[in-house]
Amino acid sequence: MTEDTTKPGLSRRTLLKGAAAGAGLAAGSGAITGFPYVMSQEAKVLRYLGTAVNAGDEISKKCLADTGIKIEYITVTTDDVTKRVVTQPNSFDVLDTEYFSLKKLVPSGNILPLDAKKIKEFNNITPVFTKGQLPSGKKIGDQGTAPWKVLYLEGKDSKTFAKSPTEFVTLIPTVYNADTLGIRPDLIKRPISSWAELLNPEFKGKASILNIPSIGIMDAAMVVEATGQYKYADKGNMTKAEIDLTMKILTEAKKSGQFRAFWKDFNESVNLMASGETVIQSMWSPAVTKVRSMGIPCVFQPLKEGYRSWASGFCVSKGVSGKKLEWAYEFVNWFLSGWAGAYLNRQGYYSAVLSTAKANMDPYEWAYWMEGKPAEKDIKAPDGSLLEKAGAIRDGGSYDDRMGSVACWNAVMDENDYMVRKWNEFIAA
């Protein structure tokens, strides 16, 4: 990655965000050479709406080189992705969004499911998405909007999620991860093993939780259960009474001075942790890596109650047809062919097609990122910067260890509007 993530105003998971203009300029100037693709007279352009999880200069440049498709990124917040899909479906071609958003998007009728038969690697997509289990067969947590619950529609024009596989896929899976708390071990100076520690008075004024309601509420639920105050039937689909209880516990902690801040974007979380203003907080894997790259100890701490997970994928606007739809399928197939998956794996995420990503990584990289083994060599980012020195072990260990410990997924609840209102009241209190 070439982006300076210390710049202000960067949005979530910004380590993967880039300006698509760079690819266009480079191609126009002849700076990129050796394309396997022979440029045709008709420009192949796709408007790509998303939150930057899968976006980046290097990805768009490689896509252009390999396929001749120019990606024009439209990068907005998670909430604004939903608003644009519902109100401006003709303003984009390809949609990159999280699975929990589908409960809002599918009813609009403004997105077009993709045909599984036209996705070359579909049968090789990890069963985490398709069956709710690891490749080894181990089942993983299903509370919240787990991808396999909303992966299929009953028909091409259906607005109903299918209970068994069909050829009509809501989102073609691309990337996912298991999130937990970030900590400053040098300042805490003792082991941390539970989500309950976020509300430990020992860290009064030094804790933070993220201020994105659909995600923050899940972290809060993990904390509430860990403290033994309540056991949810489904953390991802709370009743109004459960929402009230959860927000009451958070509000009491806020009033007692537990929280230093409520962060909304990547850069805020990095600055809070790097400065020592917080020592324990909700965090994303690349943010932890960013703090470490600054020479500051920071750990993405495995916890005994497990991880909160999320997942993203691709679909297209209902207005896409003809050649543009063909280009969309070509782009998605390229994305799953391995180069992009390896790029994302090197950021700490997981590719939906593990086999193609592995083929595009050196064995020592795969061993570190996926198998939980000590790094045989220094681990570097795609831009060549040092992430970890030889001998380091990834926080949480192997893919099976981390994804096998998923407890819940980001969610849109039946009582989502009520939850968001109560969350915003908590933040404003």
Domain map of the chain by residue range?
Answer: 41-177+309-359, 181-305+398-428
- Closest by alpha carbon to 380, among 347, 354, 349? 347
- Owner of token pair 């479906």: 89
Domain over 41-177+309-359 is classified CATH 3.40.190.10: yes
Tell me if residue 197 falls in helix, strand or coil. Answer: helix
41-177+309-359 with 181-305+398-428: one CATH topology? yes
User: How many angstroms separate the CA atoms of 144 and 409, rounded?
Assistant: 5
- CA 118, CA 339: separation in Å to the nearest integer? 19
Residue 68, sorted as left (phi over 0), alpha (psi -120 to 50) or beta, turns out to be left
- Which of 266, 282, 213, 268 has its CA nearest to residue 11? 266
* pTM of the predicted model as reported, rounded to 2 decimal places: 0.85
Alpha carbon distance 73, 342 (integer Å):
20
Q: For position 18, what pLDDT does the model report?
A: 41
Cα separation, 385 vs 376, in Å, equals 17
Nearest to 203 by CA among 221, 190, 216: 190
pLDDT at 47: 97
Sign, CA torsion 60/62/65/67: negative
- pLDDT value at residue 78: 79
Nearest CA-CA partner of 308 in 210, 384, 202, 230: 210
At 128 the pLDDT is 97
Structure-token pair, residue 56: 């980046």
Tens digit of each residue's pLDDT, the chain (429 residues): 333 333 334 443 433 434 333 333 333 333 333 445 444 557 899 999 998 767 788 999 999 999 999 999 999 887 889 999 999 999 999 999 999 999 999 999 999 999 999 999 999 999 999 999 999 999 999 999 999 999 999 998 899 999 999 999 999 999 999 999 999 999 999 999 999 999 999 999 999 999 989 899 999 999 999 999 999 999 999 999 999 999 999 999 999 999 999 998 888 999 999 999 999 999 988 788 788 878 899 999 999 999 999 999 999 999 999 999 999 999 999 999 999 999 999 888 999 999 999 999 999 999 999 999 999 999 987 778 788 899 999 989 999 999 999 999 999 999 999 999 999 999 998
Looking at domain 181-305+398-428, which of 3.40.50.620, 3.50.50.60, 3.40.190.10, 3.40.50.300 is its CATH number?
A: 3.40.190.10
- Token representation of residue 231: 């056991």
| Amino acid 41: pLDDT | 58
Helix, coil or strand: residue 344: helix
SS (HEC) of 122-167: HHHCCHHHHCCECCCCCECCCECCCHHHCCEECCCCCCCECCCCCC
